[in-house]
């Protein structure tokens, strides 16, 4: 798919902007702070209902404005669609497809697809486990938009269960009789049900992503691998079952994963009531990225960490393409971060994409193989050059 037109109103630094886009490569070039990333961030938002830079919508709305609107015309094969999101921080966001009456924001998922490479990606390798969980869950949602509902159900159930545990912990501290544990039993079942669905999807994704990541790493840094993705589940027993990639005997069916989660919740209940928080479940799991025999985090060099992060993004691109969903590739300011060899290899790998959007501070940061349409971004204006 590709975006043929992007309109923004009160989004970030833009009061109003209309950008017609072609398939193939488009580079947005301009000095620091001129609004290049703001443009591609908007495209990424349509694909994931979130920004790759911030976790709240507030900074996305232009200072002084109340709401921001992102609108894109999208073409997939013969089909064209108009998708629109209105961001209302503090209130519910709104969405429209083909100017129709309103739909839920999550209904637009799957219309715009992106794989976004950005300097923030280094956190995939060097950052907290939450970064890697988010990477997995975003890709799961891109492959199967209905999983956005499962993800938000999980967050909701977890929040409610934590509230219950917190009040149980408070009651204990203040010498109360404690709580009626049958209520907690019900929440355990809810959590295990949605948790098993999420866990199953993550394990399936990791198995599919593993060979693609290894291949991408080899393309970017020949001879530097192998790389391995291992899922460390907080709900697996001490024997470490349920690891994706490696664990051949790991439970895979929803029923087995449900039983695993229920057993883990029962096993940690005393501790959870003491601490007032849910200690096991997908929100506590870790995706371990290994380079050779060692974890990349803490061991890989800066360059190796970059190659790993890029390999994960390339693998997600290959995966979506293989499943018949060609995403828009967005490369936000990444070439300036890479040495000449990686820059060249990455550019060659992405150049054939149906649509590639690149941002760079200067023309020289855009590799020659990505010659295409250029826009100059300056002072809130975007002009084709
Ligand atoms: N909500 C907002 N309201 C108004 N201006 C904003 C808002 N959010 C960001 N900006 C402005 O947008 C500009 C940053 O834009 P952007 O991140 O797209 O820059 P860039 O061109 O990608 O720069 P760099 O090359 O440094 O990455 C900054 O000047 C910032 O002050």
pLDDT digits (tens, 9 = 90+) for 20-34: 999 999 999 999 999
**Pocket of ligand 1 contains residue 313 by CB under 6 Å:** no
Strands 286-291 and 294-295: antiparallel
Q: Are residue 237 and residue 358 in the same domain, yes or no?
A: no
Q: Using the 3D structure, point to which of 301, 317, 340 is the last residue of a domain.
A: 301
Report if residue 318 sits inside a domain. no
Is 365's pLDDT higher than 50? yes
State the DSSP string of 258-283. HHHHHHHHHHHHHHHHHHTS--SSGG
Q: How far is the CA of 377 from the centre of ligand 1 (A)?
A: 11
Q: How far apart are CA 327 and CA 1, in angstroms?
A: 6
Report if residue 121 sits inside a domain. no
| 323-332 per-position pLDDT tens digit | 999 999 999 9
Relative to the CA of 61, which ligand 1 atom is closest? Answer: 1
Name which residue leads in pLDDT, 379 or 4: 4
Is 243's pLDDT higher than 60? no
Q: By C-alpha distance, which of 233, 4, 211, 48 is closest to 143?
A: 48
Is 15's pLDDT higher than 50? yes
How open is the CA angle 246-251-256, to the nearest 5 degrees? Answer: 165
Is 250's pLDDT higher than 80? no
Q: Are residue 331 and residue 291 in the same domain, yes or no?
A: no
Relative to the CA of 13, which ligand 1 atom is closest? Answer: 5
Q: Are residue 250 and residue 367 in the same domain, yes or no?
A: no
Q: What is the DSSP letter of 326?
A: -
Q: What residues have CB less than 8 Å from 214, skipping those under 6 apart?
A: 225, 226, 227, 228, 311
Q: What is the pLDDT averaged over residues 217-239?
A: 87
Q: By C-alpha distance, which of 147, 130, 112 is closest to 6?
A: 112
Q: Are residue 205 and residue 332 in the same domain, yes or no?
A: no
Relative to the CA of 41, which ligand 1 atom is closest? Answer: 18
Domain enclosing residue 6, as ranges = 1-113+326-385
Q: Are residue 88 and residue 231 in the same domain, yes or no?
A: no
Q: How far apart are CA 5 and CA 191, in angstroms?
A: 41
Is 178's pLDDT higher than 70? no
Q: Are residue 192 and residue 282 in the same domain, yes or no?
A: yes
Q: What is the DSSP letter of 61?
A: B
Q: C-alpha dihedral over 55, 60, 64, 66, to 10 degrees?
A: -90
Report if residue 11 sits inside a domain. yes
CATH number for the domain spanning 19: value is: 3.40.50.300
Is 335's pLDDT higher than 60? yes
Number of domains in the chain: 2
Q: Using the 3D structure, point to which of 252, 284, 301 is the last residue of a domain.
A: 301
**Whole-number pLDDT of residue 240:** 45
Q: Are residue 93 and residue 173 in the same domain, yes or no?
A: no
Mutate which of 35, 43, 336, 364 for ligand 1 pocket (most atoms within 8 A of beta carbon): 35
How many residues does this entry show for the chain? 385
Range in 72-81, 162-171, 232-241, 254-263 the model is least confident about: 232-241
**Whole-number pLDDT of residue 209:** 96
Q: What is the pLDDT averaged over residues 33-55?
A: 94
| 81-131 per-position pLDDT tens digit | 999 999 999 899 999 999 887 899 989 999 999 999 999 999 999 999 999
Q: How far is the CA of 209 from the centre of ligand 1 (A)?
A: 34
Q: How far is the CA of 2 from the centre of ligand 1 (A)?
A: 24
Q: How far apart are CA 216 and CA 17, in angstroms?
A: 36
Q: What is the pLDDT averaged over residues 251-280?
A: 90
**Is ipTM strictly over 0.85?**
yes
Which CA distances in Å does 375 have to 4, 21, 334?
Answer: 15, 10, 17
Mutate which of 6, 8, 12 for ligand 1 pocket (most atoms within 8 A of beta carbon): 12
Q: Are residue 170 and residue 30 in the same domain, yes or no?
A: no
**Whole-number pLDDT of residue 246:** 42
Q: Are residue 292 and residue 366 in the same domain, yes or no?
A: no
Name which residue leads in pLDDT, 264 or 171: 264
pLDDT, mean over the chain: 91
**Pocket of ligand 1 contains residue 37 by CB under 6 Å:** yes
Q: How far apart are CA 82 and CA 72, in angstroms?
A: 6
Q: What is the pLDDT averaged over residues 44-70?
A: 95
Rounded to 10 deg, the angle between the 254-275 and 181-220 helix axes is 120
Mutate which of 31, 33, 382 for ligand 1 pocket (most atoms within 8 A of beta carbon): 33
Report if residue 127 sits inside a domain. no
Q: Which ranges of 84-146 does DSSP label H, i.e. alpha helix?
A: 122-126, 129-143
Cα four-point dihedral sign 346, 298, 333, 107: positive
Cα distance from N-terminal residue to C-terminal residue, the chain: 24
**Whole-number pLDDT of residue 238:** 47
CATH number for the domain spanning 277: value is: 1.20.1050.90
Cα four-point dihedral sign 78, 331, 351, 292: negative
Strands 381-384 and 2-11: unpaired
**Pocket of ligand 1 contains residue 36 by CB under 6 Å:** yes
- Name the residue at shortest CA distance from atom 14 of ligand 1: 33
Report if residue 259 sits inside a domain. yes
Residue 6 half-sphere exposure toward CB, CA atoms < 13 A:
22
Q: How far apart are CA 120 and CA 52, in angstroms?
A: 8
**Whole-number pLDDT of residue 247:** 44
- Name the residue at shortest CA distance from atom 15 of ligand 1: 35
Relative to the CA of 60, which ligand 1 atom is closest? Answer: 1
Report if residue 273 sits inside a domain. yes
Report if residue 122 sits inside a domain. no
17-48: buried (b, 16+ CB within 10 Å) or exposed (e) per residue? bebebebbbbbbbbeeebbbbbbbbbbbbbbb
- Name the residue at shortest CA distance from atom 29 of ligand 1: 33
**Whole-number pLDDT of residue 140:** 95
**Three-state DSSP class for residue 234:** coil
Q: Are residue 70 and residue 205 in the same domain, yes or no?
A: no
The percent of residues above 90 in pLDDT, for the chain, comes to 76
- Name the residue at shortest CA distance from atom 18 of ligand 1: 35
Q: What are phi and psi of 277, to 5 degrees?
A: -155, 150
Is 151's pLDDT higher than 70? yes
Q: Are residue 72 and residue 162 in the same domain, yes or no?
A: no
**Please, which pLDDT band fits residue 249 given cuts at 50, 70 and 90?**
low
Answer for the pair 360, 335: CB distance below 8 angstroms, yes or no: yes
Q: What residues have CB less than 8 Å from 105, skipping those under 6 apart?
A: 49, 85, 93, 94, 95
**Please, which pLDDT band fits residue 157 given cuts at 50, 70 and 90?**
very high
Answer for the pair 226, 220: CB distance below 8 angstroms, yes or no: no
Answer for the pair 339, 327: CB distance below 8 angstroms, yes or no: no
Report if residue 128 sits inside a domain. no
Q: Are residue 272 and residue 342 in the same domain, yes or no?
A: no
Mutate which of 15, 19, 36, 38 for ligand 1 pocket (most atoms within 8 A of beta carbon): 38
């Amino acid at each position: 798919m590709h975006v043929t037109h992007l309109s923004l109103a009160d989004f970030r630094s833009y009061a109003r902007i209309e950008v017609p886009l072609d398939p193939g490569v488009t580079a947005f070039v301009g000095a620091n702070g001129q609004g290049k990333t703001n443009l591609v961030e908007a495209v990424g938002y349509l694909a994931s209902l979130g920004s790759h830079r911030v976790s709240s919508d507030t900074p996305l709305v232009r200072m002084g404005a109340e709401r921001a609107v992102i609108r894109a015309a999208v073409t997939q094969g013969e089909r064209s669609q108009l998708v629109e999101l209105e961001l209302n921080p503090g209130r519910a966001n709104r969405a429209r497809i083909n100017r129709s009456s309103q739909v839920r924001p999550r209904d637009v998922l799957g219309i715009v697809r992106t794989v976004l490479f950005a300097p923030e990606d280094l956190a995939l390798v060097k950052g907290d486990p939450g970064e890697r969980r988010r990477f997995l869950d975003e890709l799961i949602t891109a492959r199967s938009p209905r999983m956005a509902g499962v993800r938000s159900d999980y967050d909701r159930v977890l929040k409610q269960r934590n509230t219950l545990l917190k009040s149980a912990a408070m009651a204990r501290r203040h010498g109360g009789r404690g709580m009626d544990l049958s209520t907690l039993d019900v929440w355990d079942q809810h959590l295990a049900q949605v948790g098993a669905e999420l866990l199953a999807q993550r394990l399936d994704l990791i198995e599919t992503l593993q060979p693609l990541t290894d291949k991408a790493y080899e393309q970017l840094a020949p001879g530097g691998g192998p790389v391995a993705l291992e899922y460390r589940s907080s709900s697996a027993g001490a024997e470490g079952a349920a690891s994706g990639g490696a664990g051949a005997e790991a439970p895979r069916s929803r029923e087995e994963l449900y039983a695993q989660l229920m057993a883990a919740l029962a096993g940690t209940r005393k501790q959870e009531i003491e601490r007032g928080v849910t200690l096991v479940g997908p929100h506590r799991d870790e995706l371990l990225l290994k380079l050779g025999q060692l974890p990349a985090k803490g061991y890989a060099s800066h360059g190796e960490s970059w190659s790993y992060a890029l390999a994960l993004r390339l693998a997600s691109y290959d995966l979506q393409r293989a499943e018949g969903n060609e995403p828009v590739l967005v490369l936000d300011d990444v070439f300036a971060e890479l040495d000449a060899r990686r820059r060249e290899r990455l550019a060659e790998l992405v150049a054939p994409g149906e649509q590639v959007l690149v941002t760079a501070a200067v023309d020289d940061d855009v590799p020659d193989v990505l010659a295409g349409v250029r826009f100059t971004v300056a002072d809130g204006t975007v002009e084709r050059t």
